[in-house]
Every structure is written in C-alpha cells, then in structure tokens.
Amino acid sequence: MTGIIWQPIALYQPGFNFDIVLDDRFAEEMIKTNLSQSVQERMNGLGTDLTTRLGHSWLSPFTFYESTAFVSQFSLGQNGVWLVVDNYFKKEQLEDKKAVRYTTHNVDNSSQAYALMALVDLWVSYADTLKSLQE
C-alpha cells in the first residue's frame, strides 16, 4: 500500500490527547483479513515487547475487531490509557468511504502518546504479514 495510511491529528492541543485518522482502504483490507486467535496473540506479544521497551507493560495492547486483523483499540493499561476507534464505527462505514477515526483516553504524558503511536506503527508495519497469515 502506498501513501499515508494513518495520520495523527490534533497534536497541538493542550495536554497529550490526540486523534488518528486511518485510511479507509487500509481499514477495509484489515477487516477482510481473518486471523486465528494464535496469530492475534503473537501480534499482542510483539506489542507487549514494544511497550515494555518504551516503559509501559500490558499483556494485550491490541484489541482486534472480532477475528479480523483490524485493531479497534490500542491499550497501555495503566489507568485506562488507550486509543480507540470511534464509538460509532461500523463495518458498513467502510462501504461509504468514511474515514476511520481513533481517539485517545487518559493520555497524561508524551511517553504514553509516543507508545500509542508506536503501537499503531507496529500494526501497520505488520499488515502484509498479517494478510499472509490469513485463515
């Protein structure tokens, strides 16, 4: 996939909360990719390794949408720190070519913001591998 797949926005706001807009074509590809629970668990292991290196530790940083490769929530665990897809997200939204938006919750410092963005980047970086492991 070429071009910008995800874009952080509102980084200039007071505090450390931000949003991410995800490319709708990429989101659709991830929703169409069916993954086994073991592949999702291996991806969570990679996410845990990454967040541990960044000073955060959570066993399941990725919450997958059903049995797909689409991540609906990225979590750091401490005090409910997460980046979650818009509450109104529906799979059908992708058919209308509407942007998929994630918003943060309880991000209190730049370390947490960076770790959440690093999780998004890890997921996107492994997208082709996840597609190749499809059930």
Torsion of CA 65, 29, 84, 9, to 10 degrees: 180
CB neighbour list of residue 36: distance below 8 Å, 6 or more residues apart:
67, 133, 135
Please indicate, yes or no, if residue 78 is contained in any of the structural domains: yes
Q: Flag whether 120 is in a domain.
A: yes
End-to-end CA distance of the chain: 21
pLDDT tens per residue, range 8-45: 888 777 889 999 999 888 998 999 999 999 999 999 99
Does residue 15 belong to any structural domain of this protein?
Answer: no
Q: Please tell me whether the overall predicted TM-score, pTM, comes out greater than 0.85 for this model.
A: yes
The verdict on residue 17 lying in a domain is no
33 in a structural domain: yes
How many domains does the structure of the chain reveal?
Answer: 1
